[in-house]
Amino acid sequence: MAASDQVRALRWDGAALQVLDQRLLPAEERWLIARDATETARVIHDMAVRGAPAIGLAGAYGLVMAARALADADADAWTAGLAAAVALLNAARPTAVNLAAALHHLERIARQGVPGDWRALEQAAQALWDEDLAANRRMGELGSDCLPPGTRVLTHCNTGSLATAGLGTALGVVRTAWTGQRLAAVYATESRPWLQGARLTSWELNRDGIPVNLIVDSAAAFFMARGAIDWVIVGADRITANGDVANKIGTYALAVAARHHGLRFMVVAPSTTVDLAMACGADIPIEFRGPEEILRVSGRSATEPLLAAPNPVFDVTPAGLIDVLVTEKGVLERPDAAGLAALMARAC
């Protein structure tokens, strides 16, 4: 593991999935254990593990555990049991396509193989892990190459090792660009209400010795107007065929503000986040979470009781606001349907 990339969100110990509980960071580093598909669905839904590629990997290991429990089943029970586990795991969070993609990939392998051969799924889950890490390393280089020395970047949410197999997507670009001495400043938004930026991104960057300016979400346009930021760099939960991008709530506002101020806007995501089967962003299922995430801060009531506090946790940035899309397959300027289809058809 590289010196600048020491954090891991998950560990597969051969029998169970160990999950670093991201709800407790940075105050406490506590590992939970998910022993079957049901417990895995719960840690994904409750956001002990979060971030599109990381929940895809967690889901894959949840399915491995379901397959192990079906090892002695006959062919019909094996197929039906796996389908039920896929449905259970896939329902844990709706927006990131990586979860569905990982589950369906493993289910396909199970269908092509010998009923009961759960080890084949374990190998496939490990391969997904290795591919995600390799994709992040490649994207780190490709994205970093887009940034001239002296660049000041702003990133949103957490897209680091905690959200992936390691290194990260947008944060992987930040890490690589920092190591390559291209960055003059790094800004991270708090990412209300769950505080992925304040609690997780700051923690990861601090551990790497990368100085970070933490700002409240609503200060982003202020710093843009002052000329303090050159590039906004974010991850993605789903990229549709026309290049629209679902990502953490607030991403769309950052893209609008970046375009207004003449800044560049980069999305960094592995090809597993691209959903060519979905035409456009309006079709993406957007997760709404409970109002308590907004109404309570640090476990305490932050406001008078309200009738409603609608809490969409993702939004959609139209392709037209994106200057650069970085995947492990290459860099696409001004993504659109034709460019994205051609990029996805490339071998790595």
User: Can you tell me the distance from the alpha carbon of 330 to that of 270, in angstroms, rounded to the nearest whole number?
Assistant: 10
How many CB atoms neighbour CB 23 within 10 A?
16
Structure token pair of residue 207: 């551990």
Q: How far is the CB of 335 from ligand MRU (least distance, A)?
A: 16
Residue 317 is a binding residue for ligand MRU (CB under 6 A): no
Q: Which of 40, 144, 155, 169 binds ligand MRU (CB under 6 A)?
A: 169
**Which one of residues 20, 34, 58, 157 is an interface residue with ligand MRU (CB under 6 A)?**
157
Contact between residue 133 and residue 166 where contact means Cβ atoms under 8 Å apart:
yes
Task: Answer left, alpha or beta for residue 101, where phi above 0 means left and psi between -120 and 50 means alpha.
Answer: alpha
> Of the two residues 70 and 103, which places its CB atom closer to ligand MRU in the complex?
103
Q: How far is the CB of 199 from ligand MRU (least distance, A)?
A: 10
Structure tokens at 44: 């994904």
Residue type, 229: I
Q: Which of 164, 271, 317, 327 binds ligand MRU (CB under 6 A)?
A: 164
For every residue of 189-220, which 3-state class applies, written as one string? ECCCCCCHHHHHHHHHHHHCCCCCEEECHHHH
Q: Does 163 participate in binding ligand MRU (rule CB under 6 A)? A: yes
**Between 70 and 102, whose beta carbon lies closer to ligand MRU?**
102
Sign of the dihedral defined by the CA atoms of residues 339, 340, 344, 348, in that order = positive
Catalytic site includes residue 283: no
Q: Is 247 in the site for ligand MRU (CB under 6 A)?
A: yes
Would you give the binding string for ligand MRU spanning residues 182-201, x where CB under 6 A is met?
--------------x-----
Q: Does 239 bind ligand MRU (CB under 6 A)?
A: no
d(CA 80, CA 76): 6
Position 237 contacts ligand MRU (CB under 6 A)? yes
Question: Least separation, in Å, of the C-beta of 119 and ligand MRU?
Answer: 29
Strand, helix or coil for residue 217: helix
Stretch 4-63 residues interacting with ligand MRU (CB under 6 A): 50-53
Return the closest-CA partner of residue 134 out of 6, 3, 11, 271. 271
From the number of C-beta atoms within 10 Å of its C-beta (0-12, 13-18, 19+), residue 102 rates as buried
Closer to ligand MRU by Cβ: residue 56 or 115: 56
Out of 9, 34, 85, 96, name the contact with ligand MRU by CB under 6 A: 96
DSSP H or E run through 31: strand 31-34
Q: Does 100 bind ligand MRU (CB under 6 A)?
A: no
Indicate which residue of 230, 237, 275, 315 is catalytic. 237
Catalytic annotation, residues: 237
Residues lying near ligand MRU in the complex (CB under 6 A) are found at 50-53, 96, 157, 159, 163-164, 169, 196, 235-237, 247-248, 313
